[in-house]
A and B are shown apart, each in its own frame.
Chain A
Amino acid sequence: MEIFLKRLAVQTHRDKELLDITDQVEQVIKESRIKRGLVLVLTMHTSSGIIVTEGLPCIEKDILNHFTKLAPKDGDYYHNRFLDIDGRLGFNADAHLQSVLGGIFVIFPILNGQLVKGSRQRIYFAEYDGPLEREYCVQVIGE
């Protein structure tokens, strides 16, 4: 069994947005030369996520709007306090909660060196507290 790991950077441009990274994930699978196995896509942050949905702008907007309703920006959060580890206040609990709600990773099968997914499925990097340069990793496991 082989394991291939790649860390990728993405510059987000908005406070909240979904960036389609399906092509980048497929490229990593190709680079790995692994024909059968699994691919894991994982964000390296706690205020962003990795999700799968249909590649339509309307759905992308609905997802972000819904997450904002579930975890609103101005909520009364315990996280709204000074954090020694950051040297600043942590008032982005909404982003952390949205990350939990949407999840931070996805796993897909690989067969014949190709991502096995539904025809409408796309993999997204979900930004909940941008704009920021973010990192995610793609790990391909198989043979």
Chain B
Amino acid sequence: MKIDFHTHPVLVREMWEKYPELEHVARDIFFIRNRPQPLETFILELTISGLDRAVLLPIDATTTRGCTIYSNQQIAELCQKDPRFIGFCSVDPHNPDAPVVLEQAVKELKLRGLKLSPPTQEFFPNDRRLVYPLYEKAEKLGIPVIFHAGMSWEPRARLKYAHPLLLEDVAADFPDLRIVIAHFGWPWVLDTIALALKYHNIYIDTACLYFGNPKHFLSFVMKEQIPLSVIEKSLREKIVFGSNYPRVEIKNMVYAISQLGLSSECLELIFSYNPQKVLGEV
């Protein structure tokens, strides 16, 4: 069971047709300009990449951007369309009722995890007053939380909110909360690695591409910024595959990871076991 842990369904044409505001959200907030594609294209991407399922990630930016980059209901709707989708929810951290919204999304909409994007939602993830109640709820619900970390292409996103070291307090204060640091925390790769080495509840996803092509970039991050042996020996159980589709095609990221020279056992962990573990399936 191979899983892509990081996708955004922002270009699904059927959803644009049903919810016309999603075009503005994709174009001007999420900042992607490619033309929309039928849902079938997304499924075909998974299929030709040899993957079985994909985690769908929304972002609730109601306070900071006046919109949701897919609502929890829209994510749930997509999950109804195809069983290969694993829906995550998002909540607005500035909403005092965020823990309640989270509980509803998990219990009523059957969403499986929480996505937060501090640079889009403009909060510091170690802000105890603002977001700790949310983490308490997520920990209680037994769901993972995936944080955007590092570089963001969104024009209004500020990197000051995205430093992975801001997640250390969260990992230490919520030891039962499974945390995924997205995008390898790039450019703060060593900081991200340090957290994943130290904290049992921190995982990293591979959804990073900021220059070059996927093969060259991931080779730079996973073989030059750190030795590949660190992944193979120390972090083999802490990395989950993520593509960041549709900013990058799934096929290209699968190819890039497969070309690194990792053992087949390690690749199996990255593509299958680790994502399932974070989801609480194994």
Contact = CB atoms under 8 A, between A and B. Distances in A.
A87 B25 CA distance: 13
A82 B41 contact: no
Interface stretch (A7-15, A50-58, A63-71, A118-126): A7-15
Nearest to A86: B33
B41 A131 contact: yes
Interface string A71-111: 00110010011100111110100000000000000000000
B248 interface: yes
A131 B45 contact: yes
B50 to A, nearest CB: 12
A7 to B, nearest CB: 14
B48 A81 contact: no
Contacts of B251: 15
A3 interface: no
B33 A15 contact: no
A91 B252 contact: yes
Contacts of A81: 211
Interface in B224-282: 246-248, 251-252, 255
A15 B153 contact: no
Interface stretch (B98-106, B181-189, B212-220): B212-220
B213 A131 contact: no
Contacts of A85: 33
Name which of A11, A82, A88, A133 has the most chain B CB atoms within 10 A of its CB.
Answer: A88
B211 A11 contact: no
Contacts of A88: 32-34, 153, 246-248
A133 B34 contact: no
Nearest to B209: A89
Interface residues of B, number: 27
Contacts of B30: 87
Contacts of A133: 37-38, 40-41
A13 B48 CA distance: 8
B211 A89 contact: yes
Given A88-B153, A88-B247, A82 B211 contact: yes
A59 interface: no
Contacts of A82: 153, 210-211
B44 interface: yes
B37 A87 contact: no
B31 interface: yes
Given A15-B48, A15-B251, A91 B32 contact: no
Contact of A74 (B37, B38, B215): B215
Given A86-B32, A88-B33, A130-B44, 13 more contacts: A11-B44, A14-B48, A80-B216, A87-B32, A87-B153, A88-B153, A88-B248, A91-B209, A91-B214, A131-B41, A131-B45, A132-B41, A133-B37
Going nearest first, the 8 A-B pairs with the smallest beta carbon separation are A91-B213, A131-B44, A87-B32, A88-B247, A87-B31, A87-B33, A86-B33, A80-B213
Interface of A: 11, 13-15, 73-74, 77, 80-82, 85-89, 91, 130-133
14 contacts: A11-B38, A11-B44, A73-B255, A80-B211, A80-B212, A80-B213, A82-B153, A86-B32, A87-B31, A87-B32, A89-B209, A131-B44, A131-B45, A133-B37
